Amino acid sequence: MSETRDYDVIVIGAGAVGENVADRAVQGGMKTAIVEAELVGGECSYWACMPSKTLLRSGALLRAAQRVGGTRQAVTGPLDVAAVLKRRDDMTSNWNDDGQVEWLNGAGIDLVRGWGVITAPREVTVTAEDGTVTVLRAKHAVAVATGSAALMPDIPGLRESEPWSSREATSVQRVPVSLAILGGGVVATEMATAYAGFGTEVHLIARSGLLGGQEPFAGEKVTESLKKLGATLHLDVQPERVERTDEDGFRIHLDDGTVVEADEFLVATGRLPRTSGLGLDAFGLEDGAWLDVDDSMRVLGADGEPVDGGWLYGVGDVNHRALLTHQGKYQARAAGDAIAARAHGRDVSLAPWGAFVATADHQAVPQVTFTDPEVASVGLTAERAQKAGYRIRVVDYEIGSVSGAHVVADGYEGTARMVVDEDRKVVLGVTFVGQDVGELLHSATVAVVGEVPLERLWHAVPSYPTVSEVWLRLLETYGRPEE
């Protein structure tokens, strides 16, 4: 026997993204249910952003204190790793989602716990852990916000050796003496920074340089800093095979002949979409593939048209546009509002920068990588801008030469890059690398999204003495455009 319930909108996946789709739909007058198989709050709250940033924060502060005369003398002890883990446990509410469920209740969203599968157009069948089956029918839309999972590459012996994914690395209860990490991306570099700060012997194994896709100096500076933190870097190599040691550790054979041994092995080689077994193949979509969507997040079929008349949405990691919480939540606001507007028969324009579209996904995505130094970037790198056909000029400035940076840290080291569209005299992209630059990023995002002309940016005066004065230095280095 199964119960059937009717809604306007059903959201599958109660991560940060699904929660926001549901919230906007409810605010648009839609009766909405959200389906969740694990914890309400999803990856970000329990195994990604929040625990990882908490694991990084204490080490970052300790090092920041050691860079300032006066506190350097006062703060002399090592990190209290147990206290760091305790703070992380508090941040994840000990992997209990009561608080988030309370938020759903307050927002007027019905929670249905269990595994959701799309069993017919606008119909989701949910099987709870105890076997209870509930059939949910939506009058208007089903939004898939099922996120992504860690990708395990095909390396002989890797899967059988049961390495860590980001889930184990962020929820660790006993820090290992040694840790090997595979990957040169965001998860790998952040976790290498966190664990090196804990005193773990870290081996980072990457098939190329670090933080590919960012401006080259970002990866170079993070490489230097990881070495300073005591990590051993194995760059431009691949594991050939992996085996367990008699001591229950890992032995990783690299293709340059090096053998790395470590107590734990974190694989951080990207993500896979959580779309397998969701029932999407019945609508002509490939099972287990990323979802292709339009700017209002309607899932598109192979013909480039919204699937089955347009009731199916794909929001957040699952559409592979930008695997970031803030960008997924931005998509969610657009999708939730578009769903409600369409349900009310209102026109939903897909024109750029409107209320129902996630235009910024295309070339104005901000991201902070919380390594030490932090890497904060938005928009296009010089390489991407050139590939996109822009006529550009690149302006670099050493952040350490800014007075505000001298105050923040003795011998502050960092670099800023501004990529300018020479035809329109607007900023296409900005990258800051340095201590605490994450908090500087939103100024760049406003400049890029607002397409603020450089001549007007000269009138946006950064306060003295803050690190933000790097904006003035970038503009001065570029030269004042003539009227």
Ligand X SMILES: Cc1cc2nc3c(=O)[nH]c(=O)nc-3n(C[C@H](O)[C@H](O)[C@H](O)COP(=O)(O)OP(=O)(O)OC[C@H]3O[C@@H](n4cnc5c(N)ncnc54)[C@H](O)[C@@H]3O)c2cc1C
Ligand Y SMILES: NC(=O)c1ccc[n+]([C@@H]2O[C@H](COP(=O)([O-])OP(=O)(O)OC[C@H]3O[C@@H](n4cnc5c(N)ncnc54)[C@H](O)[C@@H]3O)[C@@H](O)[C@H]2O)c1
Structural contact between residues 288 and 273, judged by C-beta atoms closer than 8 angstroms = yes
In terms of CB distance, is 314 or 414 closer to ligand X? 314
Nearer to ligand Y, 256 or 305 (CB): 256
What one-character DSSP code corresponds to residue 197?
Answer: H
Please tell me whether residue 153 binds ligand Y under the rule CB under 6 A.
Answer: yes
Residues 201-230 that bind ligand Y (CB under 6 A): 206-208, 212
Among 169, 324, 348, 448, binds ligand Y (CB under 6 A): 324
> Using the rule CB under 6 A, is 474 a contact of ligand Y?
no
Tokens of 223: 């490489």
152 to 100, 103, 483: CA distances (angstroms): 30, 34, 55
Assess 186 for contact with ligand Y (CB under 6 A): yes
Cβ atoms of 338 and 344 within 8 Å: the answer is: no
Strand 110-113, strand 32-36: pairing? parallel
By beta-carbon proximity to ligand Y, the closer residue of 190 and 215 is: 190
Nearer to ligand Y by C-beta: 207 or 244?
A: 207
Beta pairing, strands 264-267 & 259-262: unpaired
- Only segment of 109-117, 195-203, 263-271, 301-309 that touches ligand Y (CB under 6 A): 263-271
Instruction: Output the CA–CA distances (angstroms, integers) from residue 209 to 183, 220, 268, 398, in the order listed.
Output: 10, 8, 14, 22
| Interaction of residue 299 with ligand X, rule CB under 6 A | no
Do 420 and 382 meet the contact criterion of CB atoms below 8 Å apart?
no
Q: Is 328 one of the binding residues for ligand X (CB under 6 A)?
A: yes
For residue 297, give both structure tokens. Answer: 């997040």
Piece in contact with ligand X (CB under 6 A), picked from 140-148, 304-312, 381-389, 425-433: 140-148
- Contact of 161 with 244, CB cutoff 8 Å: yes
Asked if residue 368 binds ligand Y (CB under 6 A), the reply is yes
Least distance CB 402 / ligand X (angstroms): 26
- Tell me which residues in 43-102 interact with ligand X (CB under 6 A): 43-44, 48-49, 52-53
One DSSP character per residue, 222-279 reads HHHHHHHTT-EEEES--EEEEEE-TTS-EEEEETTS-EEEESEEEE---EEES-TTSS
Q: Does 146 bind ligand X (CB under 6 A)?
A: yes
Shortest Å distance, C-beta 362 to ligand X: 17
Contacts of 362 (CB under 8 A, 6+ apart): none
181 vs 280 by CB, closer to ligand Y: 181
Find which of ligand X, ligand Y, none residue 270 binds, CB within 5 to 8 Å per kind. Answer: ligand Y
The 10 Å Cβ neighbour count of residue 66 is 15
Return residues touching ligand X (CB under 6 A): 12-18, 35-38, 42-44, 48-49, 52-53, 115-116, 145-147, 166, 170, 187, 274, 278, 316-318, 323-326, 328
Return residues touching ligand Y (CB under 6 A): 153, 182-188, 190, 206-208, 212, 238, 268-271, 323-324, 367-370
